[in-house]
Amino acid sequence: MSSEPSHNNDNVDGDVGNVDATHQGQNLSVTQEMGSYAILPADSAETPFLFHEDLHVSYIVQMASKLEQSTSFEGALTEHLKISGVYWSLTAISLLRTPQQLDALLQASTRIVDWVFTCYDDRSGGFGGNTGHDGHLLYTLSALQILALTDRLGDRRLQRSAIRRFIIGLQQPDGSFTGDGWGEVDTRFSYCALYCLALLQSAEESGSSGTVPDTDHNDMIDIDRAVHYIAQCRNLDGGFGAVVGAESHAGQVFCCVAALAIAQQLDRVLPKPQQLLLGWWLAERQVDSGGLNGRPEKQADVCYSWWILSALTITGQLSWIHQSRLATFILKCQDDVDGGIADRPDDMPDVFHTFFGIAALSLLGFLPPSTSSFTSQHTGTTHRRIDPVYALPVDVVQRLGLQSQMLPPCHPDGR
């Protein structure tokens, strides 16, 4: 299902935009053609591949209707994490369409928000993965992300105090977090906890209209302990694992680095030598295909493009990998007939890999302008980009006043 190469720009007509630009030292030429774009690394002998923007939007919209039905194959497989599927879908489309187009396209932002509230579990105080499911930190984050994206964090139905108590109650004496009352500890949950609390705080600070103020600032998590636990999950190879002593894994590296960025303590846990070691471990994830794997000796997978690029962006080391070769790998994982992106070339696409593939291309700055409302960095102005810490469009993060710490750009030799 890999995408057919776009051989050149010869067949362009009046509808087609053709833009040259320099991207982080790599010359790019972007050609727009019927809802697909060719991204051409000018310094590369590789054949350029099309990015099928319109196909991906229609894939996600069609998939949404399949996921609605729990009797469909896709719906049955993803029933337990539907709320995360909604977050991946909405965020992916939001990178390719304006908020107004997103609303019109889905005709459903109010319906989606209503559905999100059916996933609230008032016994635990968190959101579940689907209506009537038990609350869990993973799904509480997805719920709050959807509300952030749709500008509904001020909704009267949002039980901010109860959600905060749910999160605080999951912190363990060593600073780690469990995902729910069943006791599994994972650095994913540290990220989710810090992120959810940042979103709840932003909702309070924006004085969400009509809601009862419910901040009890005595009611806090222990940030220092949370940071200390994450620091303890750092391994000798420079990476981070799910718990203390667990193997380094790129997904966990993202969670730890992004959690430290939210806590604004990245520089404390990653002074220069540790920053360099982590950069090397992450850069070594790039394999011959141009794709990235999640740990040594494993296969490349499109989703690691996100987990690794975001970590490298936060630590100022994005230039340590070959960006256009990675972009080409992601483009080869597209289904050029029905849309969507798979984990690797010729596999079946799914919404998870579609989101993370698009998000990675966005982080790379390789997504060309999608609509007349957005201008592209290729034309020297801004394109709607994804934030590497919060995994939401940058303008949403700015609107909410979410803060994070990033490290300054750093060269592999330490400069």
Provide the binding-site residues for ligand GRG, judged by CB under 6 A.
Answer: 138, 141, 188, 191-192, 251-252, 254-255, 294-295, 298, 301, 303, 307, 391
Q: Nearer to ligand GRG by C-beta: 252 or 354?
A: 252
By beta carbon distance, the residue nearest ligand GRG is: 251
Helix 187-205 vs helix 160-169: crossing angle, to nearest 10? 150
Q: Nearer to ligand GRG by C-beta: 303 or 326?
A: 303
CB of 128 to ligand GRG, least distance (A): 15
Q: Nearer to ligand GRG by C-beta: 254 or 281?
A: 254
- Map residue 5 onto helix, strand or coil: strand
CB of 284 to ligand GRG, least distance (A): 14
For 174-188, what is the HEC assignment? CCCEECCCCCCECHH
CB of 258 to ligand GRG, least distance (A): 8
What is the rounded distance in angstroms from the CA atom of residue 122 to the CA atom of residue 57? 34
Q: Nearer to ligand GRG by C-beta: 38 or 318?
A: 318
Q: Which residues contact 248 (CB under 8 A, 6 or more apart)?
A: 235, 237, 238, 239, 240, 241, 281, 295
β-pairing verdict for 49-51 and 36-41: antiparallel
CB of 249 to ligand GRG, least distance (A): 6
CB of 127 to ligand GRG, least distance (A): 13
Residue 30 tokens read as 């972007």
CB of 146 to ligand GRG, least distance (A): 11
CB of 156 to ligand GRG, least distance (A): 25
**Strand residue runs (E) in 172-293:** none
CB of 241 to ligand GRG, least distance (A): 10
What is the rounded distance in angstroms from the CA atom of residue 93 to the CA atom of residue 54? 10
Q: Nearer to ligand GRG by C-beta: 177 or 307?
A: 307
What is the rounded distance in angstroms from the CA atom of residue 89 to the CA atom of residue 349? 13
Cα angle value 62/302/410 (rounded, 5°): 130
Q: Nearer to ligand GRG by C-beta: 106 or 246?
A: 246
Q: Nearer to ligand GRG by C-beta: 225 or 298?
A: 298
Closest C-alpha to 314, from 249, 265, 353, 377: 265
CB of 190 to ligand GRG, least distance (A): 10
Q: Looking up tokens 């997504």, which residue turns up?
A: 367
Q: Nearer to ligand GRG by C-beta: 142 or 265?
A: 142
Q: Nearer to ligand GRG by C-beta: 216 or 247?
A: 247
What separation, in Å, do the N-terminal and C-terminal C-alpha atoms of the chain show? 42
Determine the distance from the C-alpha atom of residue 86 to the mean position of all C-alpha atoms in its chain, rounded to a whole number: 13
User: Residue 29 belongs to what H/E stretch?
Assistant: strand 26-33
Neighbours of 114 (CB within 10 A): 12
